[in-house]
Structures are given as structure tokens and as C-alpha cells.
Amino acid sequence: MTYENESWDDDLPNYRTADEIPSSEISVALSSLCFLGGDPYLAMQITGIAIVDQFIMGIEYDVLRELHETERTPPATVFLSAQTQMWIFAVYELLRTWLEQAKDIIKWAKNGGLELKIRALEKKLPYRHYGQEQRASQLRRVVSNPDIVETIEADLRLTH
């Protein structure tokens, strides 16, 4: 039963349109997690996720439009589903990697292992290892500012 001032879609979520969602929104959100945006390797993954997010969003709106026009499941739905699944895997892997690193930092900070881990990462190698240098730099920041551990713990609660 529909009342005078009520439409059929009043109970549906009020989603923003693709034009209302800045392409940088997901990048900004993910980069705000402590040590996630500052890691160049993880930041590259964030960029890829944001690019694919915009791509998928365009397909979602095309599929939705076609569904409303034809009242049939559009053929592109299968491709959209596959792309969405791959996007979810990418986000999962990014967050899993960050989560593992964040938990390690908390553990080392609490058990006094930060300096030992820094020394291991800074051990001379016959080549330059940028990933280890980056990680050692992050850990040095935690040593010089232990309050970062609280920030990481808050970010872990947020993502949980």
C-alpha cells in the first residue's frame, strides 16, 4: 500500500551517484591508516584499487541502467561479478598485508623487539633493498614516537 507522500523507493538505501563519489575517496580512506599510505609498495596497490573501483562503478551503473530498461539481467553482469570479485581479493590482500605489519609493530613495541628488528632490517646486503629500508624507517618512527602504537591500535579497531 502506498500513501500519498510515499514512493516505492523510500525504503531503499540512499546511494550516491558515481558523479558524487570523488575518484580519490577510496585512496584517501585507505591511506589514512597508519603506515599504509606511507609505504610506496602498498600505496601502489591503493592506487590500483582506486582505479579499478572507478572502472567497476561505471560498469555497475551501466548494468543497473540496462536492468531497468530491459527488466532482464544484462549479459555484462557476469563480467561485473568477476571484476568485483577480483577487486575484493585485491582489497583483502592489501588489508591483510597491512594488518600483519601493524600487528607486528604492536607486538615488537610491547615486547621490546623493535630495535632488534630494525638492526635485522638494516643489515648490510650486497644490494639495496628499498622495502627493508622503508620498514626500518617506519619502525624507527615508532621508537622515536611510541604514541604511534596507539594510533595503529585505533586503526586496527576501525578496520575490524
Give the pLDDT of residue 1: 40
Across 9-20, average pLDDT: 76
Alpha-carbon distance 52 to 48, whole Å? 6
Other Cβ atoms closer than 10 A to 114? 20
User: To the nearest whole percent, how much of the chain has pLDDT over 90?
Assistant: 81
pLDDT single digits (tens) 75-134: 999 999 999 999 999 999 999 999 999 999 999 999 999 999 999 999 999 999 998 999
Alpha-carbon distance 97 to 112, whole Å? 22
Give the pLDDT of residue 2: 44
Instruction: For residue 35, count CB atoms less than 10 angstroms from its CB and return exposed for 0-12, middle for 13-18, buried for 19 or more.
Output: buried
Other Cβ atoms closer than 10 A to 34? 22
Q: Which of 20, 24, 80 is nearest to 47 (CA)?
A: 24
Instruction: For residue 111, count CB atoms less than 10 angstroms from its CB and return exposed for 0-12, middle for 13-18, buried for 19 or more.
Output: exposed
